[in-house]
Amino acid sequence: MSAQVHKARRHDSALKHVTGQALYIDDMPEPPGTLHGALVLSTIACGKLVKVDIAVASKMPGVVAVLGPTDIPGKNDVAAIGQNEPLFAVDRIEFAGQALAMVVADTLDAARAAVEKVVVEIEAEEPILDIATALERKAYVQAPSTVLRGDPDAALASAPHRLEAEFSVGGQEHFYLEGQIAFALPGEDGDITVQSSTQHPTEVQHICARLLGCDFNRVTAVVRRLGGGFGGKESNASWVAAAAAVAANHTGRPVKLRLPREVDMVATGKRHGFDYRYTVGFDDEGRLRALDAVLAADAGWSLDLTPGVVARALTHTDNAYWIPHFRAVGYACRTNKQSNTAFRGFGGPQGVVIMEDALDRIALHLGRDPVEVRALNFYAEGRDETPYGQKVDENHLARCWAEVKQGGEIERRRAEIDAFNAANPVLKRGLGLFPLKFGISFNLPHMNQAGALVHVYTDGSIRLNHGGTEMGQGLFIKVAQIVAEVFKVDIDRIRPSATSTAEVPNTSPTAASTGTDLNGWAAWEAANTIRQRMVAYAAEHFGVAEADIEFADGTVRIAKPGSNQVLSFGELAKLCWLGRVSLSSTGYYKTPKIHWDPVAMRGRPFFYFSFGAAMAEVAIDTLTGESRVLRADLVQDCGESLNPAIDLGQIEGAFVQGQGWLTCEELWWDARGRLRTAGPSTYKIPGSRDVPPVFNVTLLDNAPSREATIFRSKAVGEPPLMLATAVWTALKDAIGAVGGRNAAVRLDAPATPERVLAAVERARQGREQSVTRNG
Ligand code: MTE
Ligand code: MOS
């Protein structure tokens, strides 16, 4: 048996996923007496709550209780990091979709029927529904923050060329296949166990305790798996769980709360949409001199996780490029919409698009090749510090760029595409390239810690528990591989178990792509502690030196002069137990080297960077605005991949999810602030036919992480989502071909057929698209 790590292994639940045998919370057998919850939501976006009349609803058949703010024994606040984010609105209505009350009934149908009978009276006020209005009124959820280096004003003034532009990107619904759900089971003395589809079990525990008004030790949050999270279950799962817990506590019965898709989409936060405005200064070759950028995020009505999202957007505005003088100001605009939250990339995707827009405009302005202008500005030796003060170490940008260009046969295809465009008046093709640098770690240093708990049983089977949650990304199999590697046993001997606040406490969310980096090391520590005990005992027992004991292939070899002895791993485990050796251990890890000053916005927030590059080819129909991705070539740095099969799946999935964000997924609110794209019929996520028909994904080979990451691997969960930026660039390239590339293209995302068509129209007329030239 060879090594367990750096090896393609299928997801531990792959067969269960595809045969329907994997248990999600809604599949678990319900104990007798289980009640079902349904939420009463506001249909008004802003106003004063006058009355919630539950008289009729309470008397509906099957209804056990209708709960509102006064039924919460503790604090009516589900804020993750801020405050005053009530579970049930008290007097202010902040968005259409805000929870006002919850019905609990014997059946789901009874609960939903009663929701219709709750009478709500709201004095409506004028809502703020867009970023521009919020900026104008200085309506923010937090003070603006700035990353600054050098003197951008002076550098812009003296730059040989200067361009200004603005554009915007939309938000994105997570569209996890399993909607938000929690099941709360009351125990004795007020104890409560909550099964939650959450990325953050510890926050579920804390927020349930806050609302119940009890100690943390009364609440146990358990998560076997999520049917997708994508950031949408980092903070939002907590209030869903808290609502179930409050109802279970109130009724003394088990309560399940599952949000139907429409309620889920209307009530929970999404990716932040952003408006941008920037001025960029550069020289005759296209070398960047300075950037002055404003990034305005639509935070929605409350803080939620917006500070982290804005900070990550600001620390990724530079993307792959050295910009000597730099200012990026981030506004967190308060609007009367869902409170926007984490979404794969966490502000990174919204940060990296700015320079991609700028460099295309620069290349056009100078009549240069945008691919070359990009490479000219890459971070490099001697110009390798980010505007927030972190060195860009082990820079793989040039390598990724060269490999993607070679793999994608850029010269041949550029010529083919140009020939195609010259010959075709209706269909136009475009090519786009994108380089990526993405920082790995939570921006807040204290969040970068993890714990694990490993038991070895006397038959040699191993139970593995850690603080990370499995949402389909393959965390459990990767950490199991690590433990198997420590003990040199087959992966089948490892049993990963449900994440639980009772087993590993005080955990961070599984987010920021750090799941394996953090929990993998913690599990390694736990396993290694046990292994060392086993070695020490075996040395004593067999009278040999520790160096004479070797774990390999599920066995333990004791090298004795003349006679080698071989035990199975299980036999040694049993021997250790007889010798009264503990075969259970916790493990703990904290990421070294990181620090961050959130006020100055300086430090080393990231343990390392992950790199990548993408090349995408698209076709547009200039009569309808429809578009297709014809081919994508991706190179992604995963360090020395722990599991190339899992990583490949993550890269493909992330890319297509990014493609959805930038092309077809459009959130649309009506003039009264009601989200009208609240289901798959109106909100279009990419389908199987949107996957590029030619899709070449390569893991950057021979690139072990220089930092001491677990087995020299790198995180993969979020970075490849940004590779889809190449699709957006390619679309602009195709649109530019319409007007003979005589004007810059503004293409707001998502690049829906309407937007593409409008941009084609402007290109046809050779109209400047929101650019002022100067110099
Ligand atoms: N992959 C699947 N299948 N489902 C998910 O919900 N979430 C993504 C990514 N990949 C997600 C996924 C997000 S937002 C993050 S931060 C990482 O997985 C989290 O897991 P990791 O840290 O273990 O990579
Ligand atoms: Mo991922 S957005 O960090 O949950």
Q: Whose atoms come closest to the Cα of 657: which ligand? A: 1
The DSSP H or E segment spanning 437 is strand 427-440
The answer to whether 768 touches 744, Cβ cutoff 8 Å, is: yes
510 CA: nearest ligand 2 atom:
4
pLDDT tens digits, residue range 560-605? 988 899 999 999 999 999 999 999 999 999 999 999 999 999 999 9
pLDDT tens digits, residue range 370-400? 999 999 999 999 999 999 999 999 999 999 9
Taken as a whole, the chain contains a residue count of 775
Per-residue confidence (pLDDT) for residue 774, from 0 to 100: 46
The verdict on the CB of residue 450 being under 6 Å from ligand 1 is no
Per-residue pLDDT at 771 exceeds 60: no
pLDDT tens digits, residue range 270-328? 999 999 999 999 999 999 999 999 999 999 999 999 999 999 999 999 999 999 999 99
In the chain, % of residues over pLDDT 70: 99
Q: What amino acid is encoded at 328 in this protein?
A: A
The verdict on the CB of residue 493 being under 6 Å from ligand 1 is no
The verdict on the CB of residue 345 being under 6 Å from ligand 1 is no
The verdict on the CB of residue 199 being under 6 Å from ligand 1 is no
Per-residue confidence (pLDDT) for residue 1, from 0 to 100: 53
- What separation in Å is there between the alpha carbon of 175 and the centre of ligand 1? 13
Say whether pTM exceeds 0.95: yes
Per-residue pLDDT at 770 exceeds 80: no
And the tokens for 723? 């590779």
Residue of the CA atom closest to atom 8 of ligand 1: 230
Pocket test for ligand 1, best of 10, 344, 508 (most atoms within 8 A of CB): 344
Nearest to 703 by CA among 365, 399, 401: 399
The answer to whether 652 touches 716, Cβ cutoff 8 Å, is: no
Counting beta carbons within 10 angstroms of the beta carbon of residue 273, is it exposed (0 to 12), middle (13 to 18) or buried (19 or more)?
A: buried
The answer to whether 263 touches 102, Cβ cutoff 8 Å, is: no
Residue of the CA atom closest to atom 1 of ligand 1: 473
176 CA: nearest ligand 1 atom:
6
199 CA: nearest ligand 2 atom:
4
d(CA 696, CA 677): 33
Q: Whose atoms come closest to the Cα of 476: which ligand? A: 1
Pocket test for ligand 2, best of 341, 444, 471, 718 (most atoms within 8 A of CB): 718
Per-residue pLDDT at 773 exceeds 50: no
Residue 768 — pLDDT band, cuts 50, 70, 90? low
pLDDT tens digits, residue range 601-619? 999 999 999 999 999 999 9
- What separation in Å is there between the alpha carbon of 343 and the centre of ligand 1? 10
- What separation in Å is there between the alpha carbon of 35 and the centre of ligand 2? 31
Per-residue confidence (pLDDT) for residue 775, from 0 to 100: 40
Nearest to 102 by CA among 225, 184, 23: 184
Phi, psi at residue 269, to the nearest 5°?
-75, 165
And the tokens for 731? 């679309």
Residue 769 — pLDDT band, cuts 50, 70, 90? low
The verdict on the CB of residue 714 being under 6 Å from ligand 1 is no
Nearest to 717 by CA among 376, 325, 348: 348
The verdict on the CB of residue 650 being under 6 Å from ligand 1 is yes
Pocket test for ligand 2, best of 346, 440, 508, 517 (most atoms within 8 A of CB): 346
Per-residue confidence (pLDDT) for residue 460, from 0 to 100: 98
Which one of 394, 416, 718, 761 is the catalytic residue? 718
Taking every pair of Cα atoms in the chain, the longest distance, rounded to a whole number of angstroms, is: 90
Per-residue pLDDT at 125 exceeds 60: yes
Beta bridge partners of 530: none
Residue 141 — pLDDT band, cuts 50, 70, 90? very high
Positive or negative: CA dihedral 411, 417, 418, 419: positive
pLDDT tens digits, residue range 29-43? 999 999 999 999 999
The verdict on the CB of residue 13 being under 6 Å from ligand 1 is no
718 CA: nearest ligand 2 atom:
1
Pocket test for ligand 1, best of 18, 178, 471 (most atoms within 8 A of CB): 471
The verdict on the CB of residue 720 being under 6 Å from ligand 1 is no
Per-residue pLDDT at 767 exceeds 80: no
Mean pLDDT in residue range 62-89: 97
CA distances from 263 to 38, 97, 122, 268, 338 (A): 9, 8, 19, 8, 12
Residue of the CA atom closest to atom 18 of ligand 1: 717
Establish whether the linkage from the previous residue to 750 is cis, with ω within 30° of 0.
yes
Residue 718 catalytic? yes
pLDDT tens digits, residue range 405-448? 999 999 999 999 999 999 999 999 999 999 999 999 999 999 99
d(CA 426, CA 420): 11
Per-residue confidence (pLDDT) for residue 482, from 0 to 100: 98
Mean pLDDT in residue range 210-227: 98
The DSSP H or E segment spanning 293 is strand 288-300
Nearest to 447 by CA among 509, 389, 491, 359: 509
Residue 321 DSSP symbol: B
Residue of the CA atom closest to atom 4 of ligand 2: 231
Residue 730 — pLDDT band, cuts 50, 70, 90? very high
The answer to whether 279 touches 316, Cβ cutoff 8 Å, is: no
